[in-house]
Amino acid sequence: QLSDRLLAVTKLVTPGNRVADVGCDHAYTSIFLVEQGISPYVIAMDVNQGPIDRARENIIRYGQKAYIDVRKSNGLEKLEPGEADTVLIAGMGGRLTLQILSDYPKVTASIRELVLQPQSEIHLVRRTLQDMGFLIVKENMLKEDGKYYVMMRAVPKVLIEDECPYVLTEDEHYYYGRQLLEQRNSVLVEYLEWEKELSENIVSTLSKETTENADQRKQEIKDKLDLIKKGLGYYR
């Protein structure tokens, strides 16, 4: 019953890891992780009572009360350092995702793996993760119901032997993902082509206007087009 998006998210979890599913909502992700034998123990957390009630009902219905602990928690508030190996945050905005990771630094520092699927501002997420000492070691991208989704696994830099393949240095790494670009991800190229066409159309519409505002907007879109072309350059 899991969407393709959540299925792809669960595939990034290292088998055997104890997972904190932050913003678990219905807890379908938590249930799937245990059912599939990916995770022996999940802490399903949500800040709102509605989702917590739904999560409890579903967990009982699927007979998994012994393996999934439900906690009403604002972000990582109710997670102790060392209780989980993986923190999974899916379906939330990029800024909220980052806020959750920075609110309880001792907990975040104890984590061995982050599995994130931010809905927005993914470039900011990539940049901030690196600033926080995490490196993105795996990424995936898919399109579901006409929307593009990016999901990633990040691990603390100190746990990686050779950092070189994962360090982000170029603007296009932050915007489109170094792993996705270097692996010539087929969904990313479709996204880049789509963005290119969209941006070119906007530039041509704005070219008919002569206001200062239009000029400024046109420059912004042109900068974005440069970035898109850099991204597309990986596919040549």
Q: Site mask, ligand SAM, residues 145-174, x = CB under 6 A?
A: ------------------------------
Q: Which is nearer to ligand SAM, 115 or 135 (CB)?
A: 115
- Segment contacting ligand SAM (CB under 6 A): 17-25, 146-154, 191-199, 215-223? 17-25
Q: What HEC string does 119-177 produce?
A: CCCHHHHHHHHHHCCEEEEEEEEEEECCEEEEEEEEEEHHHCCCCCCCCCCCHHHHHHC
Q: Site mask, ligand SAM, residues 100-129, x = CB under 6 A?
A: x-----------------------------
Q: Which is nearer to ligand SAM, 25 or 113 (CB)?
A: 25
Residue 25 engages ligand SAM in binding (rule: CB under 6 A): yes
Q: How many amino acids of this chain bind ligand SAM (CB under 6 A)?
A: 16
Residues 37-96 that bind ligand SAM (CB under 6 A): 45-48, 51, 74-75, 90-92, 96
Tokens matching residue 14: 């290292």
Task: Give residues in contact with ligand SAM (CB under 6 A).
Answer: 6, 22-23, 25, 45-48, 51, 74-75, 90-92, 96, 100
